[in-house]
Amino acid sequence: MFKKNLPKKVNVIEVGPRDGFQFEPTIIPTELKVQIIEDLVGAGISQIQVTSFVNPKKVPQMADAEKLVRLLPKKEHVIYSGLVLNAKGVERAAAAGISHVEISISASDTHGLKNAGMSFSQAFSQAKDMIRLAKSFHQTIRASVQCSFGCAFEGEVDTRRVIQIVEEYLEHGVDAVCLSDTTGMATPLKLEYLLGKVIPLAKQIPTMLHLHDTRGLGLVNVMTALLNGVTYFDTSLGGMGGCPFVPNASGNIATEDTVYLLESLGIETGIDKTKVAKCSIRLEHFLNKRFSGKFQHEYLLRHSGEGISPVRHQA
């Protein structure tokens, strides 16, 4: 029943170095970030969101964006992308040599105001300017809709708003659209409904998904999306991300767990989940905490740390 409706190959996009790291109050040294990204590339991941070009006063963890990009291993088949929130971010990314950028608009007015300090129409107008600017730098543009499946402040989000944003993005010639489940409110039925609208609109432009596991439905939503034609998923090593104020709160869907699911379904990813798990465990040691992913802990249980580079334990 399932097997015949599943894709043969799926693209797993690692967003941990941006969406995972940004929530950590402990600054991760640039060198360790670079080592982790190198190891992720070594694990077969070919698309990584490495940083965001944002105000370093607001997000100190990302203050090393330019330095980090300079130190990244250059690999022909690997795409490094950066998140940008405004024209200055696009310019910084271009100057740093990042040719793939992600822009986003929230489908929720309240979230947009709180997160980006802009009304919907301001965000919309700014996004258009950013797309034009990024195009002038020949950057590839992924355009996201935050809170596509609900908003922690507003609850339900109007699906028509999500579709309106996607339509505008497509009209302005973005290279990919991404539906973001910013606060983990997607459910299989919501997902199926929205994908049924967006995929036909996007046509040959890829529809990607950025899922969180806040309420435990992350992988259920992955499976739903697979059965509905999605082949691009953002994931974060070890399930990093989420809320800095709640210990063990779940963030993004974990890279390893997602790869484990995909493998179990006979879907090719090109990724060695054990190598990713070693990166997660290394960061867990460094940050002296446990992330929400399952595979790395099950792996640790079986192998008790064998092959993981030793790092200094934080007090």
Binding mask of the shown chain, residues 28 to 67, with x at each position contacting a copy of itself by CB under 8 A: ----------------------------------------
φ and ψ of 102, to 5 deg: -115, 130
Binding mask of the shown chain, residues 280 to 299, with x at each position contacting a copy of itself by CB under 8 A: ----------x--xxx-xx-
Residue 194 lies near a copy of itself (rule: CB under 8 A):
no
Of 81 and 235, the one with the shorter C-beta distance to a copy of itself is: 235
Residue 270 lies near a copy of itself (rule: CB under 8 A):
no
φ and ψ of 17, to 5 deg: -60, -15
The rounded distance, in Å, linking the Cα atoms of 206 and 186 is 19
Task: Enumerate the β-bridge partners of residue 268.
Answer: 9
243 part of the active site: yes
- Residue spans of alpha helices (H) in the chain: 30-42, 65-71, 87-96, 109-116, 120-136, 159-171, 188-202, 218-227, 255-264, 273-287, 295-303
Q: Which of 264, 306, 310, 315 binds a copy of itself (CB under 8 A)?
A: 264
The residue type found at 273 is K
Of 63 and 223, the one with the shorter C-beta distance to a copy of itself is: 223
The rounded distance, in Å, linking the Cα atoms of 37 and 98 is 15
**Which residues, 160 to 189, sit near a copy of itself by CB under 8 A?**
184, 187-189
Per the CB < 8 A criterion, the answer to whether 218 and 241 are in contact is: no
> Given the rule CB under 8 A, which residues bind a copy of itself?
1-3, 184, 187-190, 192, 213-217, 219-220, 222-224, 227-228, 243, 245-250, 254, 257, 260-261, 264-266, 290, 293-295, 297-298, 300-301
Which residues are tagged catalytic?
243
